[in-house]
Structure 1
Amino acid sequence: MDKIKQLFQTKNSRRGSYSIAVTAVVIGIVILFNLLVAQLPQKIRQIDISDTNIYEISSTSQKLLKNLDKDVSLYVIAEKGNTDDRIRTFITKYASLSSRLRVEWIDPVLHPSALTKYDTEKNSIVVSCKATDRQTSISFDDILVTESSYYNTSSSATKFDGDGQLTSAVDYVTNTKEYKAYYTSGHGETALSSSVTDLMEKSRISVSELNLLTASSIPEDCDLLILNGPTSDLTKDEAKVLTTYLKKGGNVMSLLAYTDKSMTRLYGILEDYGLKVANGYIADAERCYQGNYYYLIPNLSVSGDMASGISSNSVLMINSKGMTQTDPVRDTINVESFMATSENGCAVTEKKQTQGTYMLGAAATESVTVKDSGGKKKKKDSRLTVYGSNMLIDAQVTESFSTLENLTLFMNSVTANLDSTDNISVSPKSLQVTYNSIAHPGIFSILIIFVIPFMVIAGGFVVWFRRRRR
């Protein structure tokens, strides 16, 4: 015993005891710190370190949840332990942004009657609002989206759409107003891609086809008419139908396209509203993508709702027509450009190039007097929105460049036509590897890609050579 006591009385033993005591205190502090952090809200203590920031809640969703004035319930019909971590984590983080949201997990194995009660299937989220008596269901397959193609035959998810699906569902159950859009056919138009129609449906806008050749008038329930890249002109009767619709307070969106045919009637309507289409196609050596003068990175001048969700101004217009402003046929028409080239833009034809600033996106609005269903007169705004190229929403473009804000700008201009609605559509996030691209190559790009790496390598070689000679 004396020998054991002497062991603990030496200088080394005292140092060891001190180290053990300090270690115990540090461990206690770490445990206490973790307990305190665990009490913080999910939105504060959880940091998104995923490659594509799939847990990041968009500003659109945050705005919707901040202004939420009705209680919404999220019933997750799934076995919580077997649910994908990404879905489980996102639901928790999303619900933490509003005290109006309540999440309840229901195991369909233990409670099979829940499938009948909520009229859904397992592995889904039922979003319900008692105040409006509206309900919708989101399948997990709509959140973790698997897309198979010739190049991708794997069964793993390629997109994560938690933000978009939940925000659309919350907006749907808390609002009763819905809208109707038609896209024209019969003139070589390009059908709207599924990416576009999905985003429109997220904003409570249903979409149908309308053949102007067989329609004597625009349907009364039409809130927005879309002409997506017609390559042949309107007939005289069709032009009259379109003009009448606008004069009665209708909303039209036209995306121009490459064509070698005369478009006198369509371009004539645009010119009546103060938008004259220039001959040829627009090039811009100052605002272009990687030296391709016809791949334009326009100057955006958006504000208010048109600027919602736009942060980088990364919009790509390919083979675009350009417009110049002219006097409209009526003084009540007001023209506003929201996208244009630099001063060095050029309208290029086979014979000449005409330099100037060209509008690539503009809207003409007019306040008109119409009669409601009761025969009373009221004021209504008519809006004609024109984009220089339908490649703005082409799936090959929007899916090839994940950082582009083309669809966001397009959806902002869509909802700008509709009363009492905002663009609440959020695009899915890719789960695939993303690559950075440089939109405006020049001296800075050469410096980053070539000069600096060369200087680093050269400097390392010099240091190595000097050390080798010693």
Structure 2
Amino acid sequence: MKAIFKREFLSFFRGITGWLFLGLNLVVYGLYFTVYNLMQGIPSIAYAINGMSFIFLITVPILTMRVFAAERRDKTDQLTMTSPVGVGGIVLGKFLALACCFAIVVAFIAASPFILRIYGTVSLKESFTSVLGLLLYGLTLLAVGLFASALTPNVIVSAVVSFGLIFLGYISSSLVSALSLSGVPAKILGWYDFTTPLSDFLSGSLSLKNIVYFLTVIVLCLVLATQIILKRRYTISKKRLTVSAFSLVTIIAVIAAAIVGNFAMTKVPDKYAVHDMTKRKYYTLSDKTKNILSKLDKDVTIYCLAKKSSLTYDYEVTLKKTLDNYAADSDYVTVKYVDTTKNPTFASKYTDSELSSGSLIVVSGNRSRTIDTSDLYETQVDSSTYSQQVTGYDIEGQVTSAINYLNAKNLEKIYLLSGHDEMSLSSTFTKTLTKLNAQTATLNFLKADSVPEDAAAVIIFGAQSDLSKNDVEKLDNYVSGGGKVFVALDVIKNSGLKNLNRFLTDNGIKATSGIVAETNENYYTQNQYYLLPKVNSTKASADVSGTLQVFMPFSVGLTKTNASGINYLNLAVTSDKAIAKNSLSDSNALQKAVSDTGTVKKEDGDAQGQFSLGLISINKKKGEVVAFGSAYTFSDEENQMVSGKNATLFSNVFSYLLPDDSKNSVSIPVKSIDSTTLTINASGIKIFGFLTGLILPLALIVCGIVVCIVRRKR
């Protein structure tokens, strides 16, 4: 077999075939690598590999078409057939020669992440998961091409058959979706689908099922090729009938083994068979979700309003993988896909709202919750294309919230105070409350004599006008009885809100009259009023503790009055060099100051030291007041600046405030898509772009041409 391997491998490079195979594959990869990775700065090579996968439709038939067909045409196969090496050894030797040729391509591609690491952080786990997928995908196509070459003595026919078989595996998943196939035809095409397993690898999912699938296809093709050659080898033998029968039995046995092996892998739970290699663990369920699933004691069914095979976009693949993990982690959770083209009225049993394709309905007993597609993903308009781009996945957050909701005995109610021109709580933060299974309602003290008894908490968010003394009295009575109040201040209006500040003082918190500016560069970004405080590790902030976690622009400072009977949780603090610009308490002066790019310095009347930006006071009755110096902290734009960490802090605080019987309610933050790009200078783009996309491939092709010319002259 070693001699067969050596002769076959060298034959690729004694002519132009091997050089052309290397050059064409690498030139296409180099072009995609240059565009996606060097020019756009994408730190993953998965995009480049996905882009170049089509070229195998051409290069694999070119490499494999002569492996057996040319020998049969030239009658030189008789020398091979009469060699002491078994037919299986011949087939394996030739396949290993093909594999080594392809391995050279893979080796060059595997080196490209290290080029990118020169310019920034690159996840090698993700990159090499993609490389592994490419290797298995390529070996599978080579095995198919080798099988096609064994079918005929005509090299052209071999190439055409190889192209047809590879092309069918390339488009089978698209055919199922485009033709809306179901039943047996869909299953057959699903068994012969090469692109879906490759896509799983490229998306950062290391699946043992896909590895087994590719390996079984390779083995099956090699066995089929062996049996075809065996049958031809014994054509003139007296034992022809016996050999034919043996070949048929062997083929059936191998096909059956492949089917059984792949079927067995489908029964292996995903938590053992599928590993999330993505940097941000897009498909992996958090410990909080796993804890909730472990406590389930009744059945939950998740209906996805789409045909499973039609969910092919990256974000839809993430949806499928995440739902699979719910089913894998709990025996009580079942996932079902509903083809709405065949069952268009299914959703009407649970809601009157119009749900888009890919929406979810989570059902348990007589209760249900619907989750529209728009709530599963965080999107943003791309300024260059003016189209919606998915920037984050909220699949786990929404589904876990729905499961919690279905199992909750009581739903908490949070009131938003109105009547004082309060700022609106933005969508990200209202969704956070919904994910905590808290209902929201407005509270106007002109219509209510007190805080309602069913209130789990009251939110005073960015009041623009002052509360009345009567309002403060109602709030004081509520807190003294064990109630919870969340206050977020607007620095521009705060100095005029005497009664609201008196309410805070009554509960052990004093706000500075002016805006806080930082002088320590580690505690602000761009502008000295754009604060990056240190978040302390407390019961209400543990998930975002540390520095550079949350963004709090335009904040007043908070201090403790240390009143008798009051305890504190200090959530977020400035450095000890921060300045409270008490001279900037007037709204006009503030607006002018925050637009000034000059250095902020301490002036007469200003206080300097460490200030709290988030503070909780707790009285003897367990009544609590949560104060934040900046209402702007809880806005969508500021939240995006720190990849959703502000929303995580908000969620932590309300998880802490909710009564003990609802502590299982958690809000899973949105998993932001890694939008970090590499900054590659122009010279780097030119050097590595020309090297990978032009110089190296061209050099290989030229080398092949030179070899051919030299051999012909001999």
State how 1:51-450 maps to structure 2 within 5 Å.
54-84=282-312, 85-86=316-317, 87-110=319-342, 114-115=346-347, 118=350, 123=357, 124-130=359-365, 133-144=366-377, 153-154=386-387, 159-259=392-492, 261-286=495-520, 287-304=522-539, 306-308=541-543, 314-328=549-563, 331-350=564-583, 351-352=603-604, 353-368=606-621, 381-399=622-640, 401-419=641-659, 420-422=661-663, 424-429=666-671, 434-435=675-676
Q: Call closer, same or farther: CA 1:274–1:76 in 2, change over 3 Å.
A: same
Alignment deviations for residues 184-212 of structure 1 (CA, whole Å, 9 cap, x no partner): 22323201112111111111111122233
State the TM-score, normalized to the length of structure 2. 0.52
Say if 1:393 and 1:406, in contact at 8 Å, map to a contact too. yes
Which residue identity is paired with 1:264?
K
Tell which deviates more after alignment, 21-30 or 401-410: 21-30
Name whichever of 314-323 and 231-240 sits farther off: 231-240
In 2, Cα distance between the equivalents of 1:335 and 1:155? 44
**Residue identity opposite 1:358 in structure 2:** F
AA matched with 1:222: A
Post-superposition offset of 1:76: 3.2
Note the C-alpha offset of 1:42: 2.0
1:446 is matched with none
After TM superposition, the structure 1 = structure 2 runs for residues 10-25 of structure 1, keeping only pairs within 5 Å, are 20-21=91-92
Taking a change above 3 Å as real, the CA distance of residues 191 and 343 of structure 1, as seen in their structure-2 partners, is same
How much does 1:216 deviate? 2.8
In structure 2, what is the Cα distance between the partners aligned to 1:68 and 1:252? 32
Whole-Å Cα distance in 1 between the matches of residues 546 and 397 of structure 2? 18
Q: 1:305 to 1:262 in 2, by over 3 A?
A: closer
Change (3 A) 1:259 1:24: closer
Counting helix residues as a fraction of each chain, which structure ranks higher? 2
**Unaligned residue ranges in structure 2 (runs of 5+):** 1-75, 100-142, 144-211, 220-257, 584-602, 689-714
- Does the 8 Å contact 1:301/1:337 carry over to 2? yes
Residue type at the aligned position of 1:285: T
1:356-400 deviations in Å (ceiling 9; x for gaps): 1111111111232xxxxxxxxxxxx2111111110110222113x
Deviation at 1:111, TM superposition (A): 5.2
CA-to-partner distance for each residue in 1:249-295, whole Å, 9 max, x for gaps? 21101011123543322222222222122232212232433342211
Secondary structure of 1:249's counterpart equals: coil
Q: Deviations over 1:68-99 (max 9, x none)?
A: 33332223343222235423333213322222
Looking at secondary structure, tell me which structure has more strand per residue: 1
Contact persistence 2:490–2:631 (CA under 8 A): yes
Residue range with higher mean Cα deviation, 309-318 or 406-415? 309-318
- Preserved contact between residue 491 and residue 629 of structure 2 (Cα < 8 Å): no
Cα distance per residue 1:218-261 (max 9 Å; x no partner)? 22222211111123322221111111111122110101112354
Are the equivalent residues in 2 in contact too, given 1:127–1:135 (CA < 8 A)?
Answer: yes
Distance 2:94 2:296 in 1: 49
**Aligned-partner SS, 1:198:** helix
Farther-moved stretch of structure 1 (262-271 vs 151-160): 151-160
Instruction: State the aligned residue count.
Output: 424
Shift in Å, 1:315: 0.5
Higher mean alpha-carbon deviation, 233-242 vs 34-43, is at 34-43
Question: 1:303, CA displacement in angstroms?
Answer: 3.1
Question: What code does the residue aligned with 2:637 have?
Answer: Q
Q: Find the aligned partners of 1:266 and 1:118 in 2 and give their Cα distance.
A: 44
Alpha-carbon distance in 2 for matches of 1:251, 1:68: 29
Instruction: Work out whether residues 60 and 309 of structure 1, in 8 Å CA contact, stay in contact via their aligned partners in 2.
Output: no
Relative to structure 1, the CA distance from residue 319 to residue 101 in structure 2 (aligned partners, 3 Å threshold; closer, same or farther) is same
Report the aligned-residue RMSD: 4.0
Partner of 2:626, secondary structure, is strand
- 1:113-158 CA distance string (max 9 Å, x none): 755655577744332223xx42222333432566679987536656
Given the superposition, is the C-alpha separation of residues 95 and 5 from structure 1 closer, same or farther in structure 2, using an over 3 Å criterion?
closer
Aligned counterparts of 1:64 and 1:145: Cα–Cα separation in 2: 24
How far apart in 2 are the matches of 1:239 and 1:59? 41
Indicate the SS of the match to 1:280. strand
User: C-alpha offsets along residues 29-60 of structure 1, whole Å, 9 cap, x if unaligned?
Assistant: 94389958766432344355679754343343
Deviates more, 1:53-62 or 1:21-30: 21-30
Q: Is this contact kept in 2: 1:127–1:137, CA < 8 A?
A: yes
CA distance in 1, matches of 2:297, 2:337: 23
- Equivalent position amino acid for 1:138 in 2: I
Secondary structure at the residue paired with 1:212? coil
Structure 1 residue matching 2:398: 3-state secondary structure: helix
SS in 2 for 1:415: helix
Verify the 8 A CA contact 2:535 2:545 in the aligned structure 1.
no
List gaps (5 residues or longer) in structure 1: 369-380, 438-448, 461-470
Rounded to whole Å, the distance in 1 between the matches of 2:562 and 2:278 is 52
Deviates more, 1:353-362 or 1:78-87: 78-87
Partners of 2:534 and 2:545 within 8 A in 1 = no
Q: Which residue identity does 1:93 align to in structure 2?
A: N
Contact 2:518 2:578 in 1 (8 A): yes
Aligned to 1:374: none
Is the Cα contact below 8 Å between 2:512 and 2:582 reproduced in 1? no
Q: In 2 relative to 1, CA 201–14 (structure 1 residues): closer, same or farther, beyond 3 Å?
A: same
Separation (CA, whole Å) in 2 of partners of 1:245 and 1:318: 30
